[in-house]
Amino acid sequence: MTERALEGVRIVECGQNVAAAYAAKLMADMGADVIKIEEPGRGDLARHRGPYPGQVPHPEKSGLFLYLNTNKQGVTLDLRQAAGREIFHRLLQDADALIHDYHPTEMASLGLDYAALEKINPRLVMTSIAPFGLRGPRTNDQATDLTLWSAGGITYLNGGGPGTDDMPPLKPFGQQAGYQAGVNASIATLGALFARLSTNEGQHIEISTQECLMSILEFTFELYPYMSIFASRLGQKPIQPLDFLECKDGWIFLCCVEEHQWRNFLEVMDNPEWAGEAIFADRVNRGANWDALKPLLQDWVQDQSVKELYDKAQARRVPIAPVSTMGDLFDNAHLKARGFFATIAHPIAGSLQYPGELYKFSETPWTIRCPAPLLGQHNAEIYGRIGLSSTEIDSLRQQGVL
């Protein structure tokens, strides 16, 4: 059997919703052994968000939870009880990393800060994901995905548009702040684990979600320190065309970043007469006169089908893209040929298609070994492994610790 890239790496994960779960999922899918700790009874908040089959809530059928927790083992543990914390310490004794996104005040009040946990296991890498980090005046602020995306500077760049200034800045679909913090946490954690191969020392990693989002602001952050200006959602047309147009059977995104791409697209359109006008001569002019240009393009595009236009334009090296719906993605021949979607069977939610192989490794492929755990599914196995007898496990369950 092929060896997995992160085989032998032992991770303990505790948190809610996306950030810590996504970091640990990325590692679990590459072969790490992940033990996910959830609150007894309620479990991870992601279990209570859906989507659900028929939109009927069920803690074992949340699409968000099922996606974020593939390849993990799951236990329940109440960290608010002393007995729970004692077991937590035992789980950490032979772990390589702890990844959590509990709020900083909550973690400290439980006595689970790095200074305490380092004593349990000096080789432990502990990764704390917090909305605004672990120091500074906003450390204790409460946050959700929406408010973090705003605090990270990205919301200000999107939504509304010319003539629609009354529309508010707009968040993207899903919980994107959580995913960004998660993938950053996975990089920093693996970096520290790689360092540990030579130093044999653990360390504490602090991740601020706000800062992770700022670091993907493209060039819009530097506009301020370099030119004392800032971008907003109301002025998004410096280069055009870079916009959504409606075909007869769906939407496309027309993207002509370089001059030759625009010229090629004109050929795809059979060189319309208006294209010769000076106000569309180069990308700066096309941007400045986008209000005049867009209706002309829209008029032509509305008789095209998405697929035909995409094929014709791509054949001329124009980076046009379809606006994929969920159905389009599952049906897409390219994604199918690459085996992107994985079918995963789950004992309660059933067999479903998930986004799967994110990267193709020639030696250590991405693999699915098991679906997301049921709440407390691996209590007996994991707690047995750290030396608890079945009588002790039963008694702890009765006390609500497990």
Partner 1 sequence: MSRLPLEGIRVADFTWVWAGPFCTLQLAHLGAEVIRIETASRPCITRQILPWPEGKPGINRSGYFNQYNQNKRSLSLNLKTPEALDLAKQLVTKSDIVSENFAGGVMDRMGLGYDVLKQLRPDLIMISLSGYGATGPEREHISYGPAQVPMSGLSSLTGYKDWPPMHVGISYGDPNGGLHGAFAVLCALMYRARTGKGQYIDLSQWETSTALVAEGLLDYSMNGTQPARDGNHDLYMAPHGVFRSSGQDRWISLAVRDDEEWQRFCAVLGRPELAADPRFVTLAARKQNEDALEAIVTEWTQARTPEEANAQLQAAGIPAAPVMNAKDLATDPHLNSRPLFVYNEHPEVGVRQHIGVPWKLSKTPLPVRPAPTLGQDTDYVLRDILGYGETDIAGLRERQVLT
Residues 180-209 that bind partner 1 (CB under 8 A): 180, 183-188, 190-195, 197-199, 201, 203-208
- What separation, in Å, do the N-terminal and C-terminal C-alpha atoms of the chain show? 35
How many angstroms separate the CA atoms of 59 and 50, rounded?
Answer: 8
Q: Which of residues 284-343 bind partner 1 (CB under 8 A)?
A: 314, 317-330, 333-335, 337-338, 340
24 binds partner 1 (CB under 8 A): no
8 Å CB contact between 145 and 213:
no
How many angstroms separate the CA atoms of 17 and 101, rounded?
Answer: 9
354 binds partner 1 (CB under 8 A): yes
251 binds partner 1 (CB under 8 A): yes
The alpha-carbon radius of gyration of the chain (Å, integer) is 25
Q: Which of residues 132-151 bind partner 1 (CB under 8 A)?
A: 132-133, 135-138, 141-144, 146-151
348 binds partner 1 (CB under 8 A): no
Stretch in the footprint of partner 1 (CB under 8 A) among 82-90, 276-284, 359-367, 375-383: 359-367
Stretch in the footprint of partner 1 (CB under 8 A) among 224-232, 276-284, 375-383, 392-400: 224-232
- DSSP letter for 156, please: G
Phi, psi of 115 (to 5 degrees): -55, -35
95 binds partner 1 (CB under 8 A): no
* Distance from the Cα of residue 191 to its chain's centroid: 19
How many angstroms separate the CA atoms of 167 and 347, rounded?
Answer: 44
What is the pattern of x (binds partner 1, CB under 8 A) and - over residues 53-92?
Answer: xxx-----x-xx-xxx------------------------
* Residue among 360, 363, 365, 358 nearest 341 (CA): 358
List the one residue from 1, 200, 226, 387 that touches partner 1 (CB under 8 A): 226
Q: For residues 304 and 379, which CB has a smaller minimum distance to partner 1 in the complex?
A: 304
Q: For residues 48 and 397, which CB has a smaller minimum distance to partner 1 in the complex?
A: 48
266 binds partner 1 (CB under 8 A): no
What residue type is 223 in one-letter code? L
* Distance from the Cα of residue 240 to its chain's centroid: 29
